[in-house]
Chains A and B, each alone.
Chain A
């Protein structure tokens, strides 16, 4: 991707503030005060920042790829971890995904991979059984 990341970031802030401000107009007067008090200056400042970035870009700042290959990989893994935990919970999903990360991304040997997964499982079971901390069981596990 060769979009200018600085402009994208400023634009994202403009969109977010515009959304919050637009929604605030539907609230009751009392509830809308703070969102408008904060959102309107935020929107104006974000627009100024966007103009600054666009001018800098026109002035010769070169586009650079937003995401490098390595960053994309780790982002996909974080998303995978999240979805895995949502589906299978902490006790099952987390150790499996951790072991998969160690093997495929970190390039660890099978013994280190298994040890890592087992350690993660032990931590999860320890939190749940010994410390009685309720862990998320996963949506798929809940329905199965």
Chain B
């Protein structure tokens, strides 16, 4: 394992092509993070046309490098304008914005950049430490457990990604049923294809994800206009201020370490995502502080805690994404769809057949985070100008690249029609608070769930549900639903 790990690291460092891909990926990720309203999901969709035809490893490195650094720059508009670049960056506003208001913008930026970098590296280390234990566990899973794991994944994400478990489950089941379009893997009978050849291989996951996520986001972005418009603060700061913020991260090393580990552990749990990680760690920073009254008024610890967690959670989230095909966050869900397009099939076989890919991705997380900090520190004096770029200029480019991604994913122009139909549904989901991540889990896990179900039925019949590990997974599904219902009832009583 050590040998594979070292050779994967050298494979990145000694290849100018890989380093170039990472640099471009990180730059694009930083751009998508710094622009309020764009975020990593649109970033992946933006890059899909450019990874078409690439080998799986360089393509995956390019996409992961982009995705893993979005939150590093996402904190910049939070600090400078009081507008979060992405949802999980909202916690940084609480202390980052007041810091900027009282003339400490440079220190806040330095703290956020270094905290993000350190968090990202610790997240990758956390993942690498888990590697020796995960492989044997994953390989012990049979088709019965994989089917139930798919159901558990949808239940988890349905319960955690929105207020309504019912809506989440419906959307997850819709993703699963969409995944049944095409030729049945067992009998070869065509289902829901109506003589359309392009549907024989099923609905392309990339097209479906673009329709459900990107189209509604673009409508919302264009309807909202430019968030940072007229808010350019004209903050003045020196590199010395930024360096002071960087040093703060190491002065509070205990907090940095603790929140990085908490973030990575949260990332392991499918569906919890960045919002939970950043707010939980912010809460931990307040609780563990000797002077909690400073928080909310510009305490640097209030910037460090959510930022380390935001980046370290990506390390944890990569594990269920790769080995079980269950994304740890909605961003990971889209990344998973893109990985499938590149020919990387998530699942236990990665632990045996493609361990070099897994190590390359772990190193990518670590290197991309360091690279992002270096790039942003170099650009520190001009960050406020980039963040106020007009979104009106970007929307049409993203529309074009989304359509390009749909076409390249399956090579069929008929996918454009699907995008319009599913895009309208995705827009309704977004507008009326239906969680969309369960859809992605459903469509990505659908084929694995169906094949595993048929295999399990073939081997054990319906008694596959009574296998010890199956019973554990069933208990987890029931517990997730029960916990969500108890919480909802408590919330209703309080209201």
A-side residues, CB < 8 A to B, are 5-6, 8-9, 12-13, 16-17, 20, 23-24, 27-28, 30-31, 33-35, 37-39, 41-42, 45-46, 48-49, 52, 66, 68, 70-71, 73-75, 77-79, 81-82, 85-86, 90, 94, 97-98, 101-102, 105-108, 112, 116, 120, 127, 131-136, 139
Contact = CB atoms under 8 A, between A and B. Distances in A.
Max chain B CB contacts within 10 Å: which of A78, A134, A136? A78
Given A30-B186, A31-B184, A106 B396 contact: yes
A70 B222 contact: yes
B459 to A, nearest CB: 16
B375 interface: no
Interface string B191-221: 1100000000000000000000001001100
A40 B145 CA distance: 22
B393 A20 contact: no
Interface string B453-484: 11000000000000000000000000000000
B184 A106 contact: no
Interface string B154-192: 000000000000110110011011001000101101011
Contact of A86 (B173, B413, B450): B413
A119 to B, nearest CB: 8
B416 interface: yes
27 contacts: A9-B434, A13-B174, A23-B191, A28-B187, A30-B454, A34-B176, A34-B450, A35-B191, A42-B177, A49-B167, A70-B223, A75-B427, A82-B403, A82-B417, A86-B413, A90-B404, A98-B396, A98-B397, A101-B395, A101-B399, A105-B396, A106-B392, A106-B395, A106-B396, A131-B53, A133-B52, A135-B404
A78 B223 contact: no
A16 B192 CA distance: 12
A38 B180 contact: yes
A9 to B, nearest CB: 4
B397 A120 contact: yes
Nearest to A41: B173
Interface of A is mostly: helix
A108 B170 CA distance: 42
Interface stretch (B90-98, B136-144, B285-293, B418-426): B418-426
B414 to A, nearest CB: 9
A135 B399 CA distance: 16
Given A31-B191, A98-B397, A139 B413 contact: yes
A5 B393 contact: no
A58 to B, nearest CB: 17
Interface of B: 49-50, 52-53, 166-167, 169-170, 173-174, 176-177, 180, 184, 186-187, 189, 191-192, 215, 218-219, 222-223, 390, 392-393, 395-397, 399-400, 403-404, 407-408, 411, 413, 416-417, 419-420, 423, 425, 427-429, 431-432, 434, 449-450, 453-454
User: Which 9 A-B pairs give the minimum distances between C-beta atoms?
Assistant: A106-B392, A42-B173, A31-B184, A101-B396, A74-B222, A31-B189, A70-B223, A9-B428, A38-B176
A32 to B, nearest CB: 8
Contacts of B215: 78
B408 A133 contact: yes
Contacts of A116: 393, 396-397
A48 B304 CA distance: 44
A130 to B, nearest CB: 11
Contact of A81 (B174, B400, B432): B400
A114 B411 CA distance: 29
A78 B400 contact: no
B177 A35 contact: yes
A17 B174 contact: yes
Given A9-B428, A74-B218, A106-B395, 18 more contacts: A5-B431, A12-B428, A20-B192, A41-B173, A42-B170, A42-B177, A45-B170, A49-B170, A71-B219, A81-B400, A82-B417, A86-B413, A102-B396, A106-B392, A108-B392, A108-B393, A116-B396, A139-B413
A102 B393 contact: yes
Chain B CB within 10 Å, residue with most, of A16, A17, A85, A102: A85
Contact of A27 (B189, B390, B403, B427): B189
A102 B398 CA distance: 13
A30 B187 contact: yes
Contacts of A108: 392-393
B49 A38 contact: no
Contacts of B427: 75
